[in-house]
Structure 1
Amino acid sequence: MAEHTIYKSDEGKQNILRFYENYLNSFGFEMERAYVGTSFGRTHVLITGPKDGKPLFVFQGGNCINPMTLSWFKPLFEHYRVYAPDTIGHPGYSAENRISAKDDSFAHWISELMTYFGVEKAAFAGPSYGAGILLRLAASMPQKIACSVLICPAGIALGSKFEMITKILVPLIIFKGTKSAVQLQKIADNMSDGFMKEIDKEIIGSIFNYTKLEQDMPKLTEKRELLRYTAPTIVIAGNKDVFFPEKKIGPAAKEIIPNLANYEVFNMGHIPSEEQLVVINEKIKEFLRLHYS
């Protein structure tokens, strides 16, 4: 294995990349792919949507694979030119060194990707860790953002440490030691309120088994960091989200985001169900129609 790697073995890496390719194949259409050299490492980007569509960058969730979270936004592919980079230091085809989500490193990384694709300003969407990455851009280079979609976002507020330990960390430790299907199911249910797809559960099980997990959450964004950020923003939160519950996200988002155009609450966990994603995408499409015409 390479000196800087998130994988525990080549076999484990190949296992996860097979999941990646199978997930892409399940979309039923070809994705364009590009490798972009950046100062932080080579970045693999999935590209889809009409070539003349307005640009929309989508960032993956943490400790998962890009197609998993990109699949949430499939209804947007018809209208927008979508760029979805594999986050450096997370499972996928990008470089495996980690980038700090505590400073402006991710903002510079995104800026370099935008320059490569000839995009000066774009709409952005990020679930979970991807939202935390996006908030680093909002803090550092707000002029790059036309509007933002933040779903179950990191980087705003954290849920109860006790709940995260009892519902995620303890079963994760047991799973790593025993490979117990019961413990993996418990984690999946606690993350998704019982709605995680079987394929997604298999993928996160492989990621738990074969990678060194990213354990640092993105920096919690401060109000002063977003004083220059005026782009319309929609935040979608779940009241059963073990990591970023609505009761914490709501007050903090309203406090720190200057142009919070929409705030939507769903009766969901950290990972929405297929039915919830239908409604979420309708909310996003309406938001983009209003603020990204």
Structure 2
Amino acid sequence: MDSLPVPVRVLISAPAAIRRVVTRDGIYRSASGERTLKRLYEDLLAELEASFNRRWVDTRFGETHVLVTGPAEAPPLVVFHGGNVVNPISLEWFLPLSDEFRIYAPDTIGHPGFSAQTRLSPRDESYGVWVADLLDELELDRVPMIGPSYGGGIVLRTAAYAPERIERAALVVPSGLGTGSLRRMLLEIVFPMVVYRLRPTRVRLERAVQPMFSEPAAELDGALLDVVGTVFEEVELERSFPKTVIADELSKFDAPTLLAVAADDVFFPPDVVVPRARAAVPNLDPVILLEGESHFPSPDARAALRDHLRTFLTVDR
């Protein structure tokens, strides 16, 4: 699972004071909820077949926790995770690339994890500034980046703010290039999510997340579903996606860019995302369609995607 982008877009136009209230009080509804989610983070991290260094990096928005893995002498690769979920969920998708890359995977600031709870605006340059600070502190200059879902929007915000810091960009079922039908998101995800919140059961949780997954929700890893349920119950969710990028913002961005979209993505459908990407991203190639897949592709689709990513990231090496 790469991310849990919250589809409550009905609140996007709410006054800033309402949407940003969590910048004052933190993103968790309770101290016990925060502890539970961090314990689940550690459980998922322990399941990954890799050893990690953990770094805490200062940025102007607060401290950022970074997972680092892969050979110390290997070229760097920065991987951003999806919104409103913990870093190890997304990192599992791309972890096999650590045999060729030194992977740096930051916990997105203002989202569940160990970074500061300062919530940045996804509508301005804040995420680009945060990434530039992060790269400076990690002593990384120009690096390839992978961004699934909300993380794709972060990569695009960086491309708009500091295009010279991106060597190659891989956007995987990304935000930042438009969204799907609000009606469909409300009917298929928001309403079932509200029902689950009112009376949590595993069956209701499975029903709420099923439209996002290619596999049957009942067959998903129990720890993963525990994270999703805890987020629904205990986190003040980020309700806005990164804003849709336009061509003028990327006029100085020339890095090769891969786009992967899922055919049945409820959040970022190909018929919306691909045309906007072609219009806005100068050096877009390849574009990969994951046939028969939802926002969270199946393990087989993720393996095929990694093959594409490996080729894309190493073509000039």
Q: Is TM-score (shorter-chain normalized) higher than 0.5?
A: yes
Q: Residue type matched to 1:243 in 2?
A: F
Residue 155 of structure 1 pairs with residue 155 of structure 2 = no
Residue 281 of structure 1 pairs with residue 302 of structure 2 = no
Residue 77 of structure 1: SS of its match in structure 2?
helix
| Distance in 2, Cα, partners of 1:219 & 1:59 | 17
Instruction: Please give the TM-score of this superposition, normalised by the length of structure 2.
Output: 0.89
1:183, CA displacement in angstroms? 2.4
User: Does structure 1 conserve the Cα–Cα contact (< 8 Å) formed by 2:57 and 2:138?
Assistant: no
Aligned with 1:140 (options 161, 172, 178): 161
Q: Which runs of structure 2 are paired with 1:81-230 in the superposition (5 Å)?
A: 81-195=102-216, 197-198=220-221, 199-230=223-254
User: Does structure 1 conserve the Cα–Cα contact (< 8 Å) formed by 2:87 and 2:105?
Assistant: yes
| Distance in 1, Cα, partners of 2:24 & 2:96 | 39
RMSD: 1.4
User: Does structure 1 conserve the Cα–Cα contact (< 8 Å) formed by 2:57 and 2:64?
Assistant: yes
Aligned with 1:272 (options 284, 297, 301): 297
Label 1:18 to 1:38 Cα distance change in 2 as closer, same or farther (>3 A).
same
| Distance in 2, Cα, partners of 1:167 & 1:60 | 23
1:195, CA displacement in angstroms? 4.5
| Distance in 1, Cα, partners of 2:165 & 2:185 | 34
User: Does structure 2 conserve the Cα–Cα contact (< 8 Å) formed by 1:195 and 1:272?
Assistant: no
User: Does structure 2 conserve the Cα–Cα contact (< 8 Å) formed by 1:150 and 1:235?
Assistant: yes
1:107, CA displacement in angstroms? 0.9
Partner of 2:276: 252
Residue 60 of structure 1 pairs with residue 85 of structure 2 = no
Give ranges in structure 2 of 5+ residues lacking alignment.
1-22
Q: Deviations over 1:43-79 (max 9, x none)?
A: 0000011111111111110010000001100111111
| Distance in 1, Cα, partners of 2:49 & 2:149 | 26
Residue 188 of structure 1: SS of its match in structure 2?
helix
1:29, CA displacement in angstroms? 2.9
| Distance in 1, Cα, partners of 2:140 & 2:232 | 35
| Distance in 2, Cα, partners of 1:30 & 1:75 | 12
Which structure ranks higher in relative contact order (CA pairs < 8 Å, sequence separation ≥ 6)? 2
Residue 8 of structure 1 pairs with residue 29 of structure 2 = yes
1:28, CA displacement in angstroms? 2.9
Aligned with 2:263 (options 239, 263, 270): 239
Q: Residue type matched to 1:260 in 2?
A: L
Q: Residue type matched to 2:311 in 1?
A: E
Deviates more, 1:163-172 or 1:198-207: 198-207
User: Does structure 1 conserve the Cα–Cα contact (< 8 Å) formed by 2:247 and 2:280?
Assistant: yes
Deviates more, 1:244-253 or 1:129-138: 244-253
Deviates more, 1:195-204 or 1:6-15: 195-204
Task: Report percent identity of matched pairs.
Answer: 35
| Distance in 2, Cα, partners of 1:148 & 1:254 | 14
Q: Residue type matched to 1:61 in 2?
A: G
Label 1:3 to 1:66 Cα distance change in 2 as closer, same or farther (>3 A).
same
| Distance in 2, Cα, partners of 1:193 & 1:289 | 29
| Distance in 2, Cα, partners of 1:284 & 1:16 | 30
Instruction: Please give the TM-score of this superposition, normalised by the length of structure 1.
Output: 0.97
